[in-house]
Amino acid sequence: MINNLLISLIQLQKYFTMFIHSLKPNDINSNSKHTSIYSDGKDGKINQVSDSRFTGWISSVSESSSASLKSQETEAHLAQRHWTFILSPAIKHLIAGGIAGAVSRTVVSPLERMKILFQIQGVNAAYSGIGPTLVKMWREEGVIGFLRGNGTNVVRIVPYSATQFAAYEKYKRLLLEEGKKELDAPRRLTAGALAGITSVACTYPLDIVRTRLSVQSASLSGNEGQKKLPGIASTMKIIYVTEGGIVALYRGLGPTLLGVAPYVALNFHSYEVLRKYFTPVDRTSPPVAQKLLCGALAGSFAQTITYPLDVLRRRMQVTGMKELEYQYKNTWDALTQLLKGEGIRGLYKGMVPNYLKVAPAISVSFVTYEACKEFMGDD
């Protein structure tokens, strides 16, 4: 009984405070006068008199409530951002980039795996069409088939994306001419290319492992898929021991760098140009929906230009796998054999699911990155 009464009183106080806080000064002055009703007994009439004391009390409560709420908002704001002030801009960029990479890649994991399967299968395709491939993945492996290799991809993409965004911000500052506020197109493209090279060089072995894990459970060219798949460390060890040591962990780095450098350069440059175009005059950035559109357009454009190099990269990464029987001496040999056996179309295998993947992935990546930067006070 007493507890219920206390709860009711607390709720009443809360609602009353909210009501008072919502009133405007004019509303209070015009509508909140206290009226006393009395009779002096002389003429038998009922008399009324307005008392401004209640008005003063209401105003006092309103001001006190407003000050209290503002104080709470300030304290919450400071508590939220206090820890971020001790972080350097580089650390903020690393954290924001890592989170952006993990979120964006997980969202599009099924399409990423589908793209890889299309890229590495030969003439006798076991997978054909987006819908049938998704159904086949579901029937053969269940839900886990859609996320096969994503754990490795996230392990790879967190340092990759973190390094890429942080390196891009660093290279932008290094290349910025004195007295200017932003880079011109050539310098921005250079910063993006260098950021792409830096991030790939730091994380490439994990990319090979991710590709192998994506392929090993698939039914390609007579391979019905392994029942028990090795983990990240085991796969890396197998490649190292059986395929040529540290060199095997960097197989395909050449075409990867050739593809990633222009891709990242075009991606960052296109996004910043589109972002500036869509930003209203009275704002510092466009709305979230338009940021997503900018990311989708930028990613699609960059991928269209550099996609054949991505196919060559995947072919080089699966060279030596017994299940696929691909044997390439180098990147040029891979290109020659691919064109001879599959024609120009072979260089664009998996392009459709790649478009479906790139648009949301790049959009989510840029928006998440900017949101994390803003949260950490790095606007």
Q: Which tens digits make up the pLDDT trace of 203-214?
A: 899 888 877 877
All structural domains of the chain: 2-81 (no CATH), 90-375 (1.50.40.10)
Q: Give me the phi and psi of 270, to 5 degrees please.
A: -60, -40
pLDDT single digits (tens) 47-86: 444 444 444 544 554 555 555 545 554 554 554 555 455 6
Entry field: residues in the chain:
379
Read off the pLDDT of each residue in 325-333 and give the average, rounded to a whole number: 80
Query: Could you give the percent of the chain with pLDDT greater than 90?
Result: 19
How does strand 47-51 pair with strand 34-38? antiparallel
Query: Could you give the percent of the chain with pLDDT greater than 70?
Result: 70
Nearest CA-CA partner of 317 in 222, 183, 229, 200: 200
Whole-prediction pTM: 0.66
Read off the pLDDT of each residue in 320-327 and give the average, rounded to a whole number: 68
Read off the pLDDT of each residue in 137-163 and give the average, rounded to a whole number: 81
d(CA 240, CA 243): 6
d(CA 180, CA 266): 22
pLDDT single digits (tens) 178-223: 888 889 999 999 999 999 999 999 889 988 887 787 776 665 544 5
**pLDDT at residue 322, rounded to an integer:** 64
Residue whose structure tokens are 């993947």: 357
120-129, 257-266, 284-293: lowest mean pLDDT where?
120-129
Residues contacting residue 123 through CB under 8 Å, at least 6 positions apart: 341, 342
pLDDT averaged over every residue in the chain: 76
Specify whether the backbone of 44 is left (phi greater than 0), alpha (psi in -120 to 50) or beta.
Answer: left
d(CA 313, CA 68): 60
**Residue 90, H or E segment:** helix 89-107
d(CA 116, CA 318): 11
**pLDDT at residue 181, rounded to an integer:** 84
d(CA 162, CA 168): 10
Angle of helix 351-375 versus helix 130-141 axis, rounded to 10 = 80
**pLDDT at residue 31, rounded to an integer:** 46
C-beta of residue 107 within 8 angstroms of C-beta of residue 352? no
d(CA 216, CA 311): 18
Q: 48 - beta bridge partners?
A: 37
d(CA 233, CA 113): 20
The amino acid occupying position 101 is G
C-beta of residue 190 within 8 angstroms of C-beta of residue 265? yes
Specify the 3-state DSSP secondary structure of 308. helix
Sign of CA dihedral 155, 160, 166, 170: positive
pLDDT single digits (tens) 7-46: 454 454 454 455 444 444 444 444 444 444 444 445 544 4
| Virtual torsion, Cα 141, 144, 145, 146, nearest 10 deg | 150
d(CA 23, CA 20): 5
**pLDDT at residue 218, rounded to an integer:** 60
